[in-house]
Structure 1
Amino acid sequence: MGSYAREDVLFLLKNLNGQVEEDGLEVREKAIQSGVHYSEMLPIEYSPTATYMNLYEKALDYYKEKVAKAAGLVSEQILKRSGKQLVLVSLARAGTPIGILIKRYLKLAYGLDVPHYSVSIIRGRGIDENALHYIRRCHPDHLIQFIDGWTGKGAITKELQESCKHLNLEGLSLDPTLAVLADPGHCSALYGTREDFLIPNACLNSTVSGLVSRTVLNREYIGEDDFHGAKYYTHLADADRSNEYIDVITKELEKVMPCVKREAQSFKVLDEEPSWQGLQEVKNIQREQGIEQIHHIKPGVGETTRVLLRRVPWKVLVKDRNDPALSHIFQLARENDVPIEEYDGMSYACCGLIKKV
């Protein structure tokens, strides 16, 4: 499963090619808002348009050093906290490229070749328990470190905590601490940065995530003993940038490594309790904007970009209308006739609001 090299990651997912049909944006949005769980269906994924690719390439060129530095810093924190007997478990799919970068940093900086798996976690339904039991059987004495790309409201952080609590009753000895590249939501103690910026792999779908779809948990296709499912979009191979992305950032890792090692000495987050500041800000937005579902609020640059590219947007809130780092947000909003409102009551640079349909 997936277009990454096996030595970079092993996806623990059931291949659903030929079984699940994708739904269009409007159909899917209406189904979700009428009560169908988002994990029971898949959106249609097309070859990226010129707009997508232009945005991705600009973001990669502009932020590649920042991504590498954050990946290095969170890697140093993981090593300091957990030691060398370690298994990386990234959350499919946005966490997967970050997990690969952490694995590569540990190999470059310390010669460590740690196992890395990618598993499914689904909001409201938990992590793939069969996958975690499999990993624990393969690595009974290793510490499992969960990895994701970034935080928003912290919904996945809370989902992971609940899942680990349940699995620990079954003797799996899991630490629910989630390591992320960026933590603008202030809901993780292990992060590379808390700056809210556009992580380039937020711009594309499967074509920067190993050609793997969003994960599926639909009992029509997934049995009790199966891993959660996904599709492997081999028809998008010509547009695949997954390994290119990893290789570009890996070159940057080599450049920033001396700086990262120096900064890591004073980068103290290990005993810091997350404040969940972002979640409180989102609740304020929900109340002030009269939004029924908190899931219709997507905070942060990456999530706002995804709302404008993949969902049905209602409006965008920005902290500063003159922020040059949000030029792509302003452009996408103009192209889609989405209104922008200035809102300075948040630590995020921007926030995307999904339209009720």
Structure 2
Amino acid sequence: MSRTVKNPAELESCFQPLTGSYRQADCQFLLTPLQAKFFSIQEKERLIQSGEKHYSEMISFESPPSEAYLALFRNMTERYKSRLAAEVMRLAHSIANTRPAPITLVSLARAGTPIGALLQRALSGHLQVDSRHYSISIIRDRGIDEQALAFLLREDQRPADGMVFVDAWTAKGVITEELKRSIARWNARHPEQLKDTLYVISDIGGVAGVAATYEDYVIPSGILNAPVSGLVSRSILNHQIQPGQFHGCVLYEHLRQYDVSHWFLDEVEAEMDAKMVAPLPSAPREQRYAQTRVYLDRWIKRYGVKNINHIKPGIAEATRVMLRRVPERLLLRDPEAEDIAHLLILAEEKGVIVEHQPNMPFNAVAFIKTIKTT
């Protein structure tokens, strides 16, 4: 679904800064706030699998997290904030050393947003690099929001060679490939030439351009939805979006009392140190990629999976399935591990089959349930 990019003179009228619950210095979303028609998770799944609607056309209501779940999120943040701070600094040093200032961090909404905000604090506050952070939409099968790219490059006049794409993690590489296709299309039609390198914290599938780690561990922001992402929903692209507008979103104001977006940034930033200079991991990315493909093929055959998009490897992707889709089964490498405690809570709440697979290369894998559509 491509849309004509408006000329620079028309762009300013389309953009109003959207920060959600973030401070503007931490993040600006290039998204259009919409009045949402909410679909139940079950109805949304049926419409997606029947082909009646694309997933990006619909949004579900996000219920408040339980006190137990929020407590688990805080515990995970406490446990991993030092590690995450070091990994953010590792990426920040890599960006500062390889890209000219001013830097424009472009996080992929919504999972990439908290990581982009942390990188912004690392670059501007700790490394004294001129940088700014925006979060924009990219949608599987629909591509990146070119109106947002045009705004950054032409209205905001951010240099193309300083634009850096950021996400929290990668698994099978679907969004990574979507980014590459989108940037190739952009570069073929526009004078501003962009690099398609994706910077991530965790690249468990061996598909990202630059990664701080290849380990599957709990990035705490990955186990919550809007309450750790500025109260902003994932992006929406449907008939409500008019020509010249950015992709859409919903602001979940009913979750404001549960908002931990700013708290999460503060907790991790408190652990940052500009002297944290560690090399990027030297683990062979190709080996991780090959291993992922072997297991995907094995699960497709074993469980009769018809759509590879229904297999979600890694703790973060498995969490997304448990929170936003209709899960069928959950595979765990170690059911006793602290990192997957939240998944066991969610699996019990939803009556999901849990299997122990100790030899797989991920700590968790979730399968989306196939819904009868006829």
Same fold (TM over 0.5): yes
Q: Does 2:21 align with 1:7?
A: no
Q: Which residue of 2 aligns with 1:292?
A: 306
Indicate if the aligned counterparts of 1:208 and 1:245 stay in contact, CA closer than 8 A.
yes
Q: How far apart, in 2, do the equivalents of 1:49 and 1:91 lie?
A: 27
Q: How far apart, in 2, do the equivalents of 1:334 and 1:237 lie?
A: 27
Alignment of 1:152-167 (within 5 A): 152-167=171-186
Q: Which residue of 1 aligns with 2:235?
A: 215
Q: How far apart, in 1, do the equivalents of 2:258 and 2:340 lie?
A: 26
Deviation digits for residues 63-94 of structure 1, max 9, x if unmatched?
Answer: 11121111111112222222333211001111
Q: Which residue of 2 aligns with 1:146?
A: 165
Q: Does 2:296 align with 1:276?
A: no
Alignment of 1:1-357 (within 5 A): 1=18, 2-16=20-34, 18=35, 20-35=36-51, 36-137=53-154, 138-140=157-159, 142-170=161-189, 171-218=191-238, 220-254=239-273, 257-258=274-275, 260-261=276-277, 263-264=278-279, 267=280, 276-277=289-290, 278-344=292-358, 346-357=360-371
Q: How far apart, in 2, do the equivalents of 1:211 and 1:241 lie?
A: 9
Change (3 A) 1:211 1:330: closer
**Aligned CA-pair RMSD:** 2.1
Gaps of 5+ in 1: none
Gaps of 5+ in 2: 1-17
Q: Which residue of 1 aligns with 2:13?
A: none
SS in 2 for 1:88: strand
Q: How far apart, in 1, do the equivalents of 2:172 and 2:195 lie?
A: 20
Deviation digits for residues 250-276 of structure 1, max 9, x if unmatched?
Answer: 10114xx43x21x23xx3669976863
Name the stretch that deviates more: 179-188 or 344-353.
344-353
Amino acid at match of 2:329: K
Q: How far apart, in 2, do the equivalents of 1:68 and 1:354 lie?
A: 32
Indicate if the aligned counterparts of 2:160 and 2:192 stay in contact, CA closer than 8 A.
no
Change (3 A) 1:212 1:331: closer
Q: How far apart, in 2, do the equivalents of 1:271 and 1:24 lie?
A: 42
SS in 2 for 1:346: coil
- Runs of 4 or more consecutive aligned structure 1 residues displaced over 4 Å after TM superposition: 268-275
Deviation at 1:322, TM superposition (A): 4.3
Deviation at 1:224, TM superposition (A): 2.3
Amino acid at match of 2:26: D
Deviation at 1:326, TM superposition (A): 2.6
Q: How far apart, in 2, do the equivalents of 1:44 and 1:79 lie?
A: 39
Amino acid at match of 1:196: D
Deviation at 1:347, TM superposition (A): 1.7
Deviation digits for residues 302-356 of structure 1, max 9, x if unmatched?
Answer: 1112222332211111223444433333343234332222234532111011111
Instruction: Give the aligned length.
Output: 348
Indicate if the aligned counterparts of 1:189 and 1:270 stay in contact, CA closer than 8 A.
no
Change (3 A) 1:235 1:337: closer
Amino acid at match of 2:45: E
Deviation at 1:183, TM superposition (A): 0.9
Q: How far apart, in 1, do the equivalents of 2:149 and 2:294 lie?
A: 31
Name the stretch that deviates more: 155-164 or 329-338.
329-338
Q: How far apart, in 2, do the equivalents of 1:356 and 1:271 lie?
A: 35
TM-score, normalised with respect to structure 2: 0.87
Deviation at 1:95, TM superposition (A): 0.6
Q: How far apart, in 2, do the equivalents of 1:77 and 1:287 lie?
A: 40
Change (3 A) 1:51 1:353: farther
Percent identity for Structure 1 against Structure 2: 38
